[in-house]
Every structure is written in structure tokens, then in C-alpha cells.
Amino acid sequence: MNTVLIKCTQKRDRIYRVESRFYEGKQLTDDWATSTFGYGSAMSREMTGIEDFVRIGVQNMEQTVSYQEKHTRENGIAYAEPSFFKIFDFKIQRGDINDQLIRPNTVVITQEVARRIFKDENPIGKILIFASGSNFNNCEVTGVLQDFPKNSHIRFNFLISYKTLPEWMKEFWYLHEAYTYLLLAPGKNPKEIEDKFPAMSVKYKTMEALKNKTWAVNLVPLQKIHLNPQKQYEREGERQRKSVITSC
């Protein structure tokens, strides 16, 4: 059994991942670690007790990342909202933490990426080109992030501003490729949100796919994600069950 260390923060007990569940009648047919791009914003608008939320859209394929004449194949690329740094306590080593992921076509990189691509150069203000097939994004480096702990399920090499995504995708309800995290208000019972979600979701089911199913969510506490059985679309792939130690 592996051990996961979770640092104690004031918000730790109020952070939940939104996971998707689908039912036919009372039969659970699908149980996914992901949600759609539209869940977080709709839940925040229509339900009380949600203090903040963040959506993380993960690129599951490698991309070519270029800086000047240097080209490398990279993974660990994701799109995230500015609230990422309000909900989680990951540290910025270079750049202003209040200026991260706000503008489209900006990117935060890890210390490891900064060393590997930029060597001794200051990466702030430099342009990285992300290429996937015929799609290209030129992104300005605005921050260098402390490397993620190796035992964290939240672990990326590049965080690109969510505003860089195509407009059609940002609120799309039929693409379950986002990891959505909620910061609940103190004392808010997550079951209240779970119970209200199926009725709320009805007006967003505008396409035929999955329309005959009941859409539901499961809110999993951040510190318990590592203890849950492996789910479809879990980023870590096959893993062992782990114990959790809290450090305050």
C-alpha cells in the first residue's frame, strides 16, 4: 500500500471533485472520474453553498512544444481557470500568482519544464508554441510553478489558460473530459448538491446522446480520491490503494 501525504490547509476539507454518474432507472450504467465542461459553472449559478470552482481540461495526447528552434514532444498538458490557484495551494516560484491563467494564450510551466526548455534563461514572457495536428497555440509563459508532488493525482507539466479553449467547448455539456473541483462554503453538505443535480441537469440535456439516462454526480472529498476504487477516466491509470497521512 502506498502512502499519500496531504498538506493541511484551511480549505482541505471543503474541496470536492465532481464525478459523473448515469442511471437507467435505478441501474448505475456509468461511473466516471470526469465531468463535462459545463458542470462547474452551471452548478455555481444554480446551487447555493458553492464558494468557488475550477475546471481542468486535460490533453490526453502528446503535443509538440516549440521554443525558438527547440522542439520537444510533451505530455501533462492541461487547460485550467485562474481559480486553480485559489482553491489549491500549489506555489508559484516565478511570476505574480494573481496574474496566472487570466488571459487567453498564457501558460504556467513547472520548474522541471523551465530547466529543461529554457536552461538558465528566465522563461517569463517567452513564447511556447503548442502544436497538435493542424492546431497551433502560441502561449506566453507567465509563471513557473513548483513541481507537483509525485504522489498527487493533480500533476501537470503545462497549465494553459482555460480561455484559450475554443468557445464551443468552454461550456459544452456533451464532452466529459474535464476534472471539476468545487470549494464548498463552510458547513455545506455535499449531498444537498448531489440530490439537486439530476433535476438541474434536465434543461442542459439538449442532444439525444445519453438523454434517456438520469444524469447524476458524486462529490468525492479531495483527501479521499486516492482511497477510492479505480474509475474510468481516472488520470493515474491502474494504481494500488493508498493510505493518507495528513500533515498540519
* pLDDT band (50, 70, 90) for residue 228: low
Domain spans, the chain? 57-169
At 3-28, the pLDDT tens digits run 343 444 568 899 999 999 999 999 99
Share of the chain above pLDDT 90, in %: 74
Q: What pLDDT is recorded for position 87?
A: 95
Of residues 236 and 2, more confidently modeled: 236
Q: What pLDDT is recorded for position 8?
A: 40
Complete DSSP assignment for the chain: -EEEEEE--TTGGGEEEEEEEEEETTEEEEEES-B-TTHHHHHHHHSSSEEEEEEEEEE-S-EEEEETTEEEEE--EEEE-TTHHHHS-PPEEES-GGGSS-STTEEEEEHHHHHHHHTTS--TT-EEEEEETTEEEEEEEEEEEPPPPTT-S---SEEEEGGGS-HHHHT-SS---EEEEEEEPTT--HHHHHHHHHHHHGGG--SSTTTTSEEEEEEEEGGGGGGSPP-BT-TT-S---EEEEEE-
When pLDDT is averaged across residues 155-178 and rounded to a whole number, the result is 95
Write down the pTM of the prediction: 0.89
At 178-217, the pLDDT tens digits run 999 999 999 999 999 999 999 999 999 888 878 889 999 9
Q: pLDDT averaged over the chain?
A: 89
